[in-house]
């Protein structure tokens, strides 16, 4: 069965975005991009909630993305994508399918299909609902060496505890630490 992998960049105090939705504190350098390229080679579908989808769809198809990050841009634009949203009426980014209802059922079906793993970049609200349904198989948190002091925390609104088991860690030269967990008892 395929895994659903959630990836998120967070501050040391657990925020994924600042109070004004700022992400300018993320550290995305060559080493991070090498890792991102490896991840994109290991999956065959990218999953998004509406907000992250609109952010990504507004950047990766542009000439700036193809100039700044040509390898990542090619992979992001080529790979199939699914955006889960009740409010979007269309998804125009290349290879994107819009799912408006029955999210958990759709994810369960995707996990049972043959193929590589699936990845969620960002999309904390989508991940929150999938976590509460037990559908996330791995959590990859990139801890940025910075305290934001305020912002939106990861999985904000979680209704109970989510116990995790550490699988591995990786330290980047920038000081970023990748923590990989799976839900306990899985």
The answer as to whether 155 is a domain residue is yes
Residue 27 lies in a domain: yes
User: What average pLDDT does the segment 18-34 reach?
Assistant: 92
| Non-local CB neighbours of 161 within 8 Å, separated by 6+ positions | none
For the chain, the average pLDDT equals: 94
**In the chain, % of residues over pLDDT 90:** 90
pLDDT at 17: 93
Q: How many domains does the chain have?
A: 1
DSSP sequence for the chain: -PPEEEEEEEETTSEEE-TT---TT----HHHHHHHHHHHHHEEEEEEEHHHHHHHHTTTTSHHHHHHSHHHHHHHHHS-EEEE-SS-S---STTEEEE-S-HHHHHHHHHHSSSSEEEEES-HHHHHHHHHTT---EEEEEEES---SSSEETTTT-SS---EEEEEEEE-TTS-EEEEEEETT-
Q: Is residue 180 part of a domain?
A: no
pLDDT in tens, 135-153: 999 999 999 999 999 999 9
Q: Which domain holds residue 75?
A: 4-38+46-175
Provide the pLDDT for residue 186.
56
pLDDT of residue 24: 92
Q: Of all residues in the chain, what percent carry a pLDDT higher than 70?
A: 99
Answer yes or no: is 183 within a domain. Answer: no
User: For residue 85, is it within any domain?
Assistant: yes
Residue 25: predicted pLDDT: 93
Q: Is residue 11 part of a domain?
A: yes
For residue 57, is it within any domain? yes
Residue 157: the pLDDT is 85
| CATH code, domain with 142 | 3.40.430.10
- The pLDDT value given to residue 158: 87
| Interval 66-118: pLDDT, tens | 999 999 999 999 999 999 999 999 999 999 999 999 999 999 999 999 999 99
Whether 185 maps to a domain, the answer reads no
Q: Quick one: how far is CA 176 from the chain centroid?
A: 17
Burial of 6 by CB count in 10 Å (0-12 exposed, 13-18 middle, 19+ buried)?
A: buried
């Amino acid at each position: 069965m395929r895994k659903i992998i959630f990836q998120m960049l967070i501050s040391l105090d657990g925020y994924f975005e600042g109070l004004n939705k700022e992400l300018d504190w993320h550290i995305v350098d060559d080493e991070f991009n090498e890792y991102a390229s490896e991840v994109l080679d290991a999956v065959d579908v990218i999953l998004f909630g509406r907000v992250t989808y609109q952010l990504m769809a507004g950047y990766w198809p542009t000439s700036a993305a193809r100039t700044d990050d040509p390898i990542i841009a090619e992979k992001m634009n080529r790979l199939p994508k699914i955006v889960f949203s009740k409010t979007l009426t269309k998804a125009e980014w290349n290879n994107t399918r819009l799912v408006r209802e029955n999210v958990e059922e759709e994810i369960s079906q995707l996990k049972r299909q043959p193929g590589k793993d699936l990845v969620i970049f960002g999309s904390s609200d989508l991940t929150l609902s999938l976590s509460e349904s037990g559908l996330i198989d791995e959590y990859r948190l990139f801890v940025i060496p910075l305290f934001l002091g305020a912002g939106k925390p990861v999985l904000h609104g979680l209704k109970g505890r989510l116990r995790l088991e550490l699988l591995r860690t990786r330290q980047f030269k920038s000081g970023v630490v990748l923590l990989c967990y799976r839900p306990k008892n899985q």
